[in-house]
Amino acid sequence: MRIYISAIISLMTFIFPVYALDIGYISSFINSDSYTLEKEIKNNSDNEHHVNIQIERISSPLKNGKIIPMDKPGELLLTPESLTLPANTRQSIYFTYQGKDDDKERYYRIIWLDQELHSTQQNYPVHRSMIKIPTKIGTLIVVSPRKIKYDYQYNKGDINNTGNATFKVIAYGPCLKSISKTDCRENFFLIPGQNRELSRVDMSDENSHISLWQSGQFVLIK
């Protein structure tokens, strides 16, 4: 299974399907008032799993994002970098941001290399392990600016992030296309400088609503 970084923004609100290695949400945030993140991973299988974890800084979580150098060595640290999870167990991975305290949002691709270890005693006098081909999984960590500024422009269903930090857009109300008697909903993350027009909810209807989710707080727009 491969999950590419180009899909991260559109899938930010979902969690992975049930695989042997469950690493939870595709994207995680280190907020402007924090420097650490704890991420729990679970081995849901009946076999041991060995996991190696790597970090790459990327210019953007969108399709055009490229790997870029860290501002300094150890900008984002993690512990442990490698671990073996026995069957049906879980463990926490800790990430620590030690980069610049500025007004820039930063994005990091976390690469999880998962090897399932199959134990066997067949035809061997001692216990051995067989290693399967490793699975590569990609997730995202967003480090919010230390000097944060949320700002936006909104006009008739079109919203633009004019600040320096990602926020979540939540909209619900009558559907633009009358194909359902129930209301439609949209929710997505908008990174700085990104513009998006709502495509499902009819924001011209007086019964429609749109809000932003910013650092644990709701901001009602309509």
Which domain CATH number covers 54? 2.60.40.10
Confidence of residue 183 (pLDDT cuts 50, 70, 90): confident
Q: Using alpha carbons only, what angle is made at residue 147 by residues 10 and 160, rounded to the nearest 5 degrees?
A: 40
Question: Residue 89 CB: number of other CB atoms within 10 A?
Answer: 13
169 and 105 in a single domain? The answer is: no
- Provide the domain limits for residue 179: 152-220
Q: What is the pLDDT of residue 20?
A: 73
Q: How confident is the model over 155-181, as pLDDT tens digits?
A: 989 999 999 999 999 999 999 877 666
Give pTM, 2 decimals. 0.82
**What are the backbone angles phi and psi of residue 99, rounded to the nearest 5°?**
-90, -160
54 and 130 in a single domain? The answer is: yes
CA 117, chain centre distance (Å): 27
Number of structural domains found in the chain: 2
120 and 180 in a single domain? The answer is: no
57 and 138 in a single domain? The answer is: yes
Residue ending a domain, choose from 91, 119, 143: 143
- Can you list the alpha helix ranges (DSSP code H) found in 29-184? none
56 and 161 in a single domain? The answer is: no
